[in-house]
A and B are shown apart, each in its own frame.
Chain A
């Protein structure tokens, strides 16, 4: 049954009335209108739905919303600052044109932001290891690696 749940997303508190088992992904997309995180597999296998939980990137498709109430959640939208400036990882993805269809871009940006919080100057291998959970089907991986490298030095 539905109940009221309070979430902290992108620096603001939001109250939603949902089935507490609902995966966070659907609440972000359908209740809060945050379309950055994408549905890719619903199995935590592809990374398309990644968000930051207290700064750590993880999928949101299997995280039930009732378990996400104690964390600061950041979505792709929340990386843009109040003046509309892009996060350096977002900026680097634009500069490197690191997308084709762009469906995986959300997860890749979130995972990269999560990585740079832990390791501000990762090697190519560390970037590849950090993005292991993210599927990209168009084959833009080499550009993504360049973009993350660029963001880490900017």
Chain B
């Protein structure tokens, strides 16, 4: 019988075939590691090490059925990483992507690549896979050349076969069932740069073909024999404590299996899903909670945030910005605000956990299986080696949502019901009210311009919470920890660097200062697409628009005049060209924005055409984007990500705001947290600039900040009024 991918995975099963790896530190940038507040997962490097990431078989295996299995330590979030890494491997192996399967992040199986975050997956994982596959090709050709005693130049590799004249054999046969465990080294040729048969092509995503047939398995769809269903009973606030719960007679409810109560953490488990839901309603009615703290619902949040203690730090300083601004003939200042916004995944978070013989298995849509494992170990007080965490795609992921929390809750429940697979599906209000939000921010800018319209001095102050409290080995980064009787507390500010992202403009300005004011805000928060870059770029790009107007310059020309990077200028020139024939009508306007994400990743220029409707609401009619992400792996995938980012950011900017009262979040569902629906969707057009000779650059978050700014700038163009506080449209108009 031939080994298929499914069997291969099953054979690997639980027992660690383990290779891990040098830890996240060697794979990711400092910034990404810090996003979790620490280098989670690093400690296991020494313990589980039979294959290392400098070896080919850490990244790919040749299977008996002729296919190639690629192992990525990253997760599919909807961004299409699976097809991108498959294309990379397919190219180097000159093998159709149809013959390449991808194993997503899984402890003990894939490399520890930390988190799938920060738009890094192409720059890190896919590049490792490319090198490993190129090295594999060279080893395979050499092996065949020796075996057949012919020059290597007469041997070729095609669609999983080694071919020389009339000789042909599968890679599996050539290897005689072994895997290639040699070092990757430096392959002499990267086909992805020289041939580009699959790389750079809009190869269709295989998962979409499965999705339309309902054959794509989400974590929500997992089934196991004798699987049971669970729900959590939520406290009434972030800090409430369970005062009393009458458990009498609960065991008589249909399907009742277990009430798990640990301090103020309460969950129910039943045989069937609807039985678990009904039980949770019953327990919710019986639970009495004590609330002692209140959320600051009485004061406008923008005012309240400035009253909080803040760590103040100068992030960047150049020249005498102060007197330059004071002496400039044109001076301007403005203050901007973004509220808390939510990830609001379409499918609420879900996990399955199974505990037996002191071993725990967890199926999760977490962005970081290794960091989650380490944090679960700390939460449950069990060794990390006894925990297996397997990544399974969930609903769209735009950052740190409820995925890790639901996994931790499922684990806590499963430990209390050994021998059964426990599936925990969050309900809509679990996700809306308990996920960690993208934090509110205040952005204040000042600048001085000379009489030619050149910015001479720049001062930027921003107020923000930290932007990541991802699981980092500390139990309190997982939601249930705070409610357990152990009193794990709550996370602090978390990853401050996320707030600083894109706080210094990419424009050439002689004197400037950037100062951060980092507070701990009232709501639970963590990484949301772009982190601080969303608020920072929104503020900076709106302010640049205001400065252009003060200087009497065209906003695109004004930006170009302050840029020295030709790639940035090219994006802006193209966006101007694309909109040169657009003539906004009455109550309509056109707005522009630009940024280079993180000042080091993708370049993105955007235009928005906005209309003020009769009821006073602003709608986006059309958006144009130009993106330069260096070498493009899948142009349609890049377009899809960019279009989606533009639409999502327009929704954030026009309508979204997390609201709360003194007790807790009131944005409990889609009626109370309204996002774009189909009637408001703009037409979207994206152009990709493919630069084959450049490095691929992270792209998934590039559109967020500039798109919001372009919408706000278009609103100004339409009305002559600056809307500096988001959301632009009054939320009350949408609430139902």
Question: Which chain A residues have a beta carbon within 8 Å of chain B's beta carbons?
Answer: 1-2, 18-19, 21-23, 26, 29-30, 33-36, 38-43, 45-46, 48, 75-77, 80, 86, 90-91, 93-94, 97-106, 109, 127-129, 131-145
The distance from the CB of B59 to the nearest CB of chain A, in whole angstroms, is 25
Knowing A103-B347, A140-B640 are in contact, say whether A45-B213 is a contact too (CB < 8 A).
no
User: Could you give 9 example pairs across A and B, Cβ below 8 Å?
Assistant: A39-B220, A41-B670, A91-B212, A97-B636, A99-B205, A100-B640, A134-B677, A143-B643, A145-B678
A100, B223: Cβ atoms under 8 Å? no
B677, A132: Cβ atoms under 8 Å? yes
Interface centre among A93, A129, A142 (most CB of B within 10 A): A142
Point out the residues of chain B lying under 8 angstroms from A22, CB to CB: 272, 274
A19, B678: Cβ atoms under 8 Å? no
CA distance A94 to B254 in the complex (A): 42
Point out the residues of chain A lying under 8 angstroms from B644, CB to CB: 100, 138-140
Of B209, B346, B636, the residue contacting A46 (CB under 8 A) is B346
Point out the residues of chain A lying under 8 angstroms from B343, CB to CB: 137
The chain B residue with its CB closest to the CB of A2 is B254
B214, A138: Cβ atoms under 8 Å? no
B676, CB-defined interface residue at 8 Å = yes
The chain B residue with its CB closest to the CB of A133 is B677
A23, B274: Cβ atoms under 8 Å? yes
The distance from the CB of A84 to the nearest CB of chain B, in whole angstroms, is 9
- B interface secondary structure, majority: loop
Point out the residues of chain B lying under 8 angstroms from A137, CB to CB: 343-346, 395-396, 398, 648, 675
The distance from the CB of B517 to the nearest CB of chain A, in whole angstroms, is 31
CA distance A21 to B207 in the complex (A): 34
Point out the residues of chain B lying under 8 angstroms from A141, CB to CB: 647, 676, 678, 681
Number of B residues whose C-beta is below 8 Å from A? 61
Question: Which chain B residues have a beta carbon within 8 Å of chain A's beta carbons?
Answer: 77-80, 204-205, 207-209, 211-214, 216-218, 220-221, 223, 254, 272-275, 343-348, 393-398, 425, 427-428, 636, 640-641, 643-648, 651, 669-671, 675-679, 681-684
Interface centre among A1, A40, A131 (most CB of B within 10 A): A40
Knowing A45-B671, A100-B80, A132-B679 are in contact, say whether A105-B212 is a contact too (CB < 8 A).
yes
Closest 6 CB pairs of A and B: A101-B78, A139-B647, A139-B644, A101-B396, A36-B214, A100-B78
Interface centre among B77, B275, B681 (most CB of A within 10 A): B681
Point out the residues of chain A lying under 8 angstroms from B651, CB to CB: 139
CA distance A23 to B278 in the complex (A): 12
The distance from the CB of B479 to the nearest CB of chain A, in whole angstroms, is 20
Knowing A39-B425, A42-B427, A132-B679 are in contact, say whether A139-B646 is a contact too (CB < 8 A).
yes
CA distance A144 to B345 in the complex (A): 18
The chain A residue with its CB closest to the CB of B428 is A41
The distance from the CB of B56 to the nearest CB of chain A, in whole angstroms, is 31
Knowing A2-B254, A97-B640 are in contact, say whether A142-B684 is a contact too (CB < 8 A).
yes
B346, A97: Cβ atoms under 8 Å? no
Knowing A2-B254, A135-B346 are in contact, say whether A46-B679 is a contact too (CB < 8 A).
no
Of B79, B204, B395, the residue contacting A97 (CB under 8 A) is B204
Point out the residues of chain A lying under 8 angstroms from B669, CB to CB: 41, 43, 45
Of A26, A77, A109, the residue contacting B273 (CB under 8 A) is A26
Point out the residues of chain A lying under 8 angstroms from B272, CB to CB: 18-19, 22, 26, 30
A80, B211: Cβ atoms under 8 Å? no
CA distance A145 to B204 in the complex (A): 19
The distance from the CB of B644 to the nearest CB of chain A, in whole angstroms, is 3
The distance from the CB of A87 to the nearest CB of chain B, in whole angstroms, is 8
